[in-house]
C-alpha cells in the first residue's frame, strides 16, 4: 500500500514538474555580451524542441521574444536539475561546435528601468570571456534593442 502511494506521488510529481533543458545558439565566432530580452510585443515566442528551450541569437547577440522570463520554468524552484549547452552555428543555423563552459561567464537574469523607459527583463550571457560582466551594460543593450526594434 505504502509503495503504491509513493509510486503514485512520484508519477504525479514527474508529470506536474516538467524539466526543460536549455540550448543557446550563437553565430560562429561570436564574442561579447549576449542578451535574451523578454516580453517584447510582436516578437516570436521561444520554442521548445526535444524537451529543450531553444535560444537562437542573431549576429548582434540578441534574442528578442514575447515569452516571459519564466517560459518553461513556471515551477523552476521545484523543477530539479537541467542541462544547459552553448553552441556556435554556421550561417544555416547548423551546429558546428559546442562552446565549453570555460568560455561562458556568469549568466544573470534581471530587470531594470532607466530614464522612464519601460522595464526591460533580460538574461545576460558573457560569451568568449568568462571574466566579462554583462549585467550592468544597460546602454549597450538599449542601443542594440532600439536598433532592432526600429528595423522591425
Q: Whole-angstrom Cα distance, residue 16 to residue 108?
A: 26
Max CA pair span of the chain: 63
Task: Supply the pLDDT for residue 18.
Answer: 63
Task: Supply the pLDDT for residue 63.
Answer: 95
Q: Where are the domains of the chain?
A: 20-150
| Mean pLDDT in consecutive groups of 10 residues from the start of the chain, 152 residues | 64 59 95 91 93 94 91 62 90 94 88 67 84 71 80 70
Task: Supply the pLDDT for residue 142.
Answer: 80
Q: Whole-angstrom Cα distance, residue 72 to residue 60?
A: 25
Task: Supply the pLDDT for residue 148.
Answer: 79
Task: Supply the pLDDT for residue 54.
Answer: 96
Task: Supply the pLDDT for residue 110.
Answer: 80
Distance of CA 133 to the CA centre of its chain: 17
Q: Whole-angstrom Cα distance, residue 29 to residue 51?
A: 27
Amino acid at each position: 500500500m505504502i509503495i503504491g502511494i509513493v509510486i503514485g506521488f512520484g508519477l504525479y510529481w514527474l508529470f506536474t514538474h516538467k524539466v526543460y533543458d536549455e540550448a543557446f545558439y550563437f553565430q560562429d565566432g561570436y564574442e561579447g555580451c549576449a542578451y535574451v530580452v523578454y516580453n517584447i510585443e510582436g516578437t516570436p515566442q521561444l520554442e521548445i524542441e526535444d524537451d529543450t528551450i531553444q535560444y537562437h541569437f542573431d549576429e548582434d547577440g540578441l534574442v528578442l521574444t514575447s515569452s516571459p522570463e519564466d517560459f518553461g520554468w513556471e515551477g523552476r524552484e521545484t523543477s530539479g536539475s537541467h542541462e544547459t549547452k552553448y553552441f556556435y552555428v554556421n550561417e544555416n543555423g547548423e551546429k558546428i561546435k559546442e562552446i565549453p563552459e570555460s568560455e561562458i561567464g556568469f549568466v544573470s537574469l534581471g530587470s531594470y528601468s532607466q530614464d522612464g523607459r519601460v522595464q526591460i527583463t533580460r538574461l545576460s550571457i558573457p560569451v568568449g570571456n568568462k571574466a566579462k560582466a554583462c549585467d550592468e551594460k544597460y546602454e549597450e543593450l538599449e542601443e542594440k534593442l532600439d536598433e532592432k526594434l526600429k528595423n522591425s
